[in-house]
Amino acid sequence: MSITSEKNIILLTVIIFFALIAVLFYVTSGKRIEERGLVQEGISPSPSVLPLQTPMQKNAVQVQEDSGIHSSVRYEHGSFSPVSIAIANETGCFVEIQNASDEDVVVRLGPYDPQQERGFLYPPIAPHENSLIDPRYGTITQFSFYNKNNPSAIFAVSIDPTCF
């Protein structure tokens, strides 16, 4: 009889241990919006973001109501300029893409792979139009983006941890 009681106590202890680990994981992995830097107090209001549903990918983020706080990249003559930018909480953690060309720019997460598109499916940017995007993918701090219509046109984004 005492062996069964010891087995039950050990089993109960293991179950409680794993339940505590699961609760701890849930609490520490779920960051609040304020901790990610999405809510800024004392700074001009950040743009609102709207999810875009695409049949191929998860939600993408296109920024609406531009507050004017962001870094810019210009597409002209088949390339992006500058080819590398850094964003931080002070710049709103968004990137403005200015299409100064006469063709659509379709921004995709790099590196270029003709077999698949990674990341969010940002909508095309019409000629001589601008688009404001949120380039954050989890807590990864360095990305490259390219123009799907011209894969050799690349720009890199370095994201400061204050954006998360």
129-138 tens-digit pLDDT = 999 988 888 7
Shared domain check, 49 and 15: no
For residue 100, the model assigns a pLDDT of 95
Closest CA to 103 of 123, 75, 83, 82: 75
Shared domain check, 158 and 140: yes
Shared domain check, 118 and 157: yes
For residue 27, the model assigns a pLDDT of 64
- For residue 18, the Cα-to-chain-centroid distance in whole angstroms is 32
Shared domain check, 21 and 73: no
Which residue ranges in the chain fall short of pLDDT 50? 30-66
State the distance between the two ends of the chain, measured CA to CA, in whole angstroms.
Answer: 55
Structurally, how many domains does the chain consist of? 2
For residue 145, the model assigns a pLDDT of 93
CATH of the domain at 75: 2.60.40.420
Shared domain check, 73 and 20: no
For residue 25, the model assigns a pLDDT of 67
Shared domain check, 48 and 94: yes
Write the DSSP symbol of residue 62: E
Shared domain check, 85 and 154: yes
**Partners of residue 143 on adjacent β-strands:** 157
Shared domain check, 159 and 97: yes
For residue 140, the model assigns a pLDDT of 84
Shared domain check, 43 and 21: no
Q: Which domain holds residue 6?
A: 2-30
Shared domain check, 115 and 63: yes
